[in-house]
Copies of this chain bind each other. A is one copy, B any other.
Amino acid sequence: MKLSEGVEAAIHCATLLAQLEEGRTMPASALAEYHGLSPSYLLKHLKTLAAAGILESVSGPHGGYRLARSAEAVTLLDVVLAIEGPKPAFRCAEIRQRGPGALEPQAYAQPCGINIAMLRAEQAYRAELRKTRLSDVISNYEATADPRSIAFGCAFVDRNQRPQG
């Protein structure tokens, strides 16, 4: 079990985007520079987030990305599902229906108990991720990070945010 590397980048970017002023946007190149990542690759994930309705994109010279809704309305689960896809991590291949002891398909109306247990665990995982909103991440960041980091972030946002599109 392993999550895509892009999940971390996506969350960081969403966090930064949440800090710019209402209606403003920030281009992918600025986000990549701020996080020290490859612009080309980051763009791929930003595109995915936009397709999922978490970000909005604005084209043109003063374009860029911004949150499609408030930071309180975006959970970590939203971001993870957008990048990783909605399919559960455990995909039951219905092994029980294979082999020499297999019966007709109608005999397997009851779902596989293993699948149920695995999906229940994943529901717990998702429920926990759903509890954390983007705004919570920001609050925690502002409360614990080095003041110099916060100041740099604010300055960077002021410098790179684009006017209302």
Contacts and interface: CB of A to CB of B under 8 A. Distances in A.
Interface of A: 1-5, 7-9, 11-12, 15, 33-37, 76, 80, 84, 87, 89-93, 95-96, 98-103, 107-108, 110, 113-114, 116-118, 120-129, 132, 136-137, 140-141, 144-146, 148-149, 152-153, 156
B113 A144 contact: yes
B5 A3 contact: no
B149 A93 contact: no
Contacts of A15: 114
Contacts of A34: 99-101
Q: Which 9 A-B pairs have CB atoms at the shortest separation, nearest pair first?
A: A36-B98, A36-B99, A101-B152, A125-B125, A121-B128, A113-B140, A124-B128, A107-B146, A1-B84
29 contacts: A1-B80, A1-B89, A2-B87, A3-B90, A8-B92, A11-B114, A12-B96, A12-B114, A34-B99, A34-B101, A36-B100, A76-B114, A76-B118, A96-B145, A96-B149, A100-B152, A103-B148, A103-B149, A107-B148, A110-B145, A113-B141, A114-B137, A117-B132, A117-B137, A120-B132, A121-B126, A121-B128, A122-B125, A123-B128
B148 A99 contact: no
Given A107-B148, A129-B117, A98 B35 contact: yes
Contact of A149 (B87, B101, B148, B152): B101
Given A101-B156, A156-B101, A91 B35 contact: no
Given A12-B96, A132-B117, A102 B2 contact: no
